[in-house]
Each structure stands twice: as C-alpha cells, then as structure tokens.
Amino acid sequence: MQLNQATDYAFRAVLYLANNTSQEIIPAQTIADAEEIPMRFLLKIMRSLIQNGIVKSYRGIEGGYALAKLPEEITLLDVVQAVEGPVHLNRCLIDPKYCSKNGADTCAIHEALENIEKNLVSGLRNRNFAELVGKTQNN
Amino acid sequence: MQLNQATDYAFRAVLYLANNTSQEIIPAQTIADAEEIPMRFLLKIMRSLIQNGIVKSYRGIEGGYALAKLPEEITLLDVVQAVEGPVHLNRCLIDPKYCSKNGADTCAIHEALENIEKNLVSGLRNRNFAELVGKTQNN
DNA sequence: TAAAACTATACCAAAAAGGTATACTAAGAA
DNA sequence: TTCTTAGTATACCTTTTTGGTATAGTTTTA
C-alpha cells in the first residue's frame, strides 16, 4: 500500500525540471546529483516518463532532459501512472476475475473500494507540478 | 500501490463473520471454503486480526472465530492496518529520514502526498462492516 | 571523429508476497 | 483421562517485485 521508490524519484526529477524555469535542457547527472538518485536508475525511470509524454530527452553533448509540457499540465497521477501503471487499490478492481466468485456488482467490498480508489485517483490528479514549483526547495 | 492479497482475504473473512448475524463461532475451514482462501494462509491472517482486536478465536471442538466487536465498529481501515500495518503513500511519510535531504516542511511533494494520504485513510475509516453486511452476498 | 549523453536489453541480489509444514496447545466429548 | 478437533507459534519455502547495475549501442555536436 505504498508508492515505490522509483515513483518518488520520478516526482523529484520532474519537480527538478519544473523548477528550472528557463526551460534549459538538464543532463541526468545533474538531476541525479541534486536529488541523490542513483544515476543509472534515474535514466531508466526517465524513459518511462518519456514514453508517457511527460519529459523529452536530447542526446549528445549538451543533451539531457526537459519537461515535454507545462508544469501545470503534469499531475502527480501522470507520474504515478507512467512509472507504476494504473492505480488500483485491490486486484478485483483490475479484473473482476480476481473477485473470488462473481463480479463487481455482487460484491460489497468491491463497491466500497472502488469508491475509495476513485477519490485517491482524483486526489493525485488534482495536484500539478506548477503548484509545487518554487513553493520550497525540491528535495 | 495496491492492497495485498492477505488484506483482500481479511476483508472477506471479516465480512463473512459479520454476515453471520447469529454471532455463532465459525471454524476457519468454513470461512476458507466459502471464500476460497487457502486454509493455512487464512489461519495466519486471522491471527493478525485477533491481535488487533477485530476477531476472537475459540479453540478445541466447536472452536473457530467470531467478531470481537460489532460490525459497525470495524472499519476497512482497521482491517488494512491489522494486516499491513500503517497506511503510508510514500516512504517519506513513514519517516522524514527518507526525504532525500530535509524533512516534511521543506518538501512540496511530501506536503502534497500527506494530504492525499489523509483522504485515503479517512475514506477507509468511513466504511464499516455493518454497511457492507447483507448488501450483497459476500463473495 | 571523439567525447558526451541518452537508449536498449539484459541481468542480478535482496526483499516482499503468498503460502506451506511441523510441532504444539486448548477444549470438549467419549 | 485420553482422543479428536481446532486454533497457535514458528519456521520455512517458492515466486514475484523492487531497486538497482552492466554491457553494448546510438545520436549529437564540438
């Protein structure tokens, strides 16, 4: 019942880029050093952010990363989904086949969790990185 | 970012006991059969529910389990915490030492997640087993 | 054309998840 | 009083996930 370490690193990497208001391209090593993220692991995490349209990458000398869209267009949910895939509180919410006998409509627990999950998802969607920028140091 | 299988089983076991309005003592095997939970695994899960005051156990012939309190006094949160321990969205919310450099008060992400977590926890706390009883078959 | 920087794949160790086994204890029935 | 049923306690085990690392390659630009 916890976001994983990769997601936490991703939050911090995205916030680092978002704090860089001059839209400069920032190399992975700079982010890794600033946020104390293992370099090779960060590179791997960045790729899932790229695949989900959250950041862009630039190769070669002077290469690095920048946000692919405005900070206000990137939510915590976007980052979580990019790194971990869809958010589901219980496996019966992924596929009804996990609901031991029947499906959603006959299971009181399923229905209760579905509601709680909806709230969690909208909580994550309601926070974007523009709100987080500048507020504090990003550490 | 998911409750584990043991928690799902625990929900179903507690609901099974709650649906048993006659307050009878029910042996583990009966619950295991009805809810398709591996018997030995269920016994293990039940012990954490006992330790958290959610169910009571009775040994010997005619032994088994019953709720330790009224269904309306048992929330989804109680069961989750009994099985998985405290709910925390991110490790920096468990202990500030996980926050890469400073503590909660200097980290925008920390603060955002803390709020979302509070909502999740109260969502779980707001649903009790009396509401789930009878609503549907417990499967 | 060499060096800097990201990419792609694959691998790996440690921890967690999910469950099983063994031996034991308590309670009631015979 | 002893046998059986049912939970307890502890330890073990296999598989999956987590959190990384390694190797080799590609792109860019000075």
pLDDT in tens, A69-111: 999 999 999 999 999 999 999 888 777 767 655 555 668 899 8
Distance CA A117, CA A90 (A): 9
Residue nearest to nucleotide D29 (CA to C1'): A61
**Domains along chain A?**
5-132 (1.10.10.10)
Across A52-60, average pLDDT: 97
Residue B139 has pLDDT above 60, yes or no: no
Q: Is the CB of B29 under 7 A from strand C?
A: no
**pLDDT at residue number B94:** 72
**pLDDT at residue number A122:** 97
Across B35-47, average pLDDT: 97
**pLDDT at residue number B100:** 57
Q: Around Cβ B36, how many Cβ atoms within 10 Å?
A: 11
Q: Give residue A53's region: left, alpha or beta (phi > 0; psi -120 to 50).
A: left
Does residue B17 sit in helix, strand or coil?
helix
Q: Which residues in chain A are closer than 8 Å to B10, comparing Cβ atoms?
A: none
Q: Is the CB of B127 under 7 A from strand D?
A: no
| Contact state of B8 with A123 under an 8 Å Cβ cutoff | no
Q: Which nucleotide is nearest to B25 (CA to C1')?
A: D6
Asked whether B37 and B13 are in contact (CB, 8 A), the reply is: yes
Q: Around Cβ A107, how many Cβ atoms within 10 Å?
A: 26
Residue B128 CA, chain-centre distance (Å), reads 11
**pLDDT at residue number B64:** 97
What phi and psi values does residue A61 have, to the nearest 5 degrees?
-60, 140
* Contacts for B18 with CB less than 8 Å, ≥ 6 apart: B67, B71, B74, B129, B130, B132, B133
Least confident of A30-39, B83-92, B120-129: B83-92
Q: Minimal CA–CA distance to A28: which of A50, A5, A4, A51?
A: A50
Touching check for B132 and chain A: CB below 8 Å?
A: yes
Residue nearest to nucleotide C19 (CA to C1'): B41
Distance from CA of A105 to the nearest CA of B (A): 9
Asked whether B18 and B129 are in contact (CB, 8 A), the reply is: yes
Task: For chain B, give the percent of residues with pLDDT over 70.
Answer: 89
A64-67 and B55-58 as β-strands: parallel, antiparallel, unpaired? Answer: unpaired
A31 CA to C3 C1' distance (Å): 21
Q: Minimal CA–CA distance to A7: which of B92, B59, B7?
A: B92
Residue B11 CA, chain-centre distance (Å), reads 6
Distance CA B55, CA B51 (A): 8
| Contact state of A139 with B4 under an 8 Å Cβ cutoff | no
